[in-house]
Amino acid sequence: MAKLKVGVLISGRGSNLQALIDACADKDYPAEIVVVISNVPGVAGLDRAEAANIPTVAIDHKAFDGREPFEEAVGEALSAANVQLVCLAGFMRLLTEGFVNHWRDRLINIHPSLLPAFRGIHIHERVIEYGARFSGCTVHFVRPAMDDGPIIIQAVVPVFQDDDPDLLAARVLAQEHRAYPLAVRLIAESRVRVADEQVVIGDFRSQDGAMINPAPE
């Protein structure tokens, strides 16, 4: 069967991109990355793509007069590569309603919190400051509002009493690297559909058990 053609949008180090690259290295994985686009030239994520022989495009948003012309260039690069699914992976630009609606249900994002809690930035600092006992990550379809949209998959990690944001970020990131390839696989296997703004997954299998934090004595 033909593989789902994925375009990945990045702005930085690209560790989630790497997780997707690694997943795609398996010949049985049902998706392939056909282009990686960064709005910041020279970032490590572009090197990762090049090392994997994936075509890259740097489209510096600063070179454009406003969001629309920038997004037009991004859209052209995606179309030129025949992209079927766009994955935002640490892409730090807000997208206009026009772009988001054009790619509706073909555009996903990974966010390092359990949405709808802790949208935006400085998430891990805010989770710790709030005293939340759990955090995690969310892969969701993108809607025009920031960090909003039907949830595909979430992973949960405990927050420790003596946590610091870097430690928590690393704990969450390790789960991001599992969750994102899994979400893309489910989509590529045509097991994901959106009905009434909720994601319905064919052959849904849930993780067993529950976590309590702090643990029961």
Residues that bind ligand GRF (CB under 6 A): 12-16, 89-90, 110-112, 173, 176
Rg (CA), the chain: 17
> Is position 111 annotated as part of the catalytic site?
yes
| Nearer residue to ligand GRF within complex by CB, 173 or 201 | 173
Question: Measured at CB, which residue is nearest to ligand GRF?
Answer: 90
Residue in the structure block whose two tokens are 């976590």: 211
Nearest-approach distance from CB 1 to ligand GRF, in angstroms: 28
Residue 48 neighbours by CB under 8 Å, 6+ apart: 14, 17, 18, 21
| Nearer residue to ligand GRF within complex by CB, 7 or 90 | 90
| Nearer residue to ligand GRF within complex by CB, 35 or 89 | 89
Contact indicator for 38, 58 with CB cutoff of 8 Å: yes
The tokens describing 79, both together, are 């179309």
Residue 83 neighbours by CB under 8 Å, 6+ apart: 5, 6, 7, 34, 35
Q: Which of 61, 111, 140, 177 is catalytic?
A: 111
Q: DSSP assignment, residue 143?
A: -
Strands 192-195 and 198-201 come out as antiparallel
Nearest-approach distance from CB 196 to ligand GRF, in angstroms: 26
Contact indicator for 132, 105 with CB cutoff of 8 Å: no
**Residue 113: exposure state from Cβ atoms within 10 A (0-12, 13-18, ≥19):** buried
Nearest-approach distance from CB 43 to ligand GRF, in angstroms: 8
| Nearer residue to ligand GRF within complex by CB, 5 or 171 | 171
Nearest-approach distance from CB 17 to ligand GRF, in angstroms: 6
Active site residues: 111
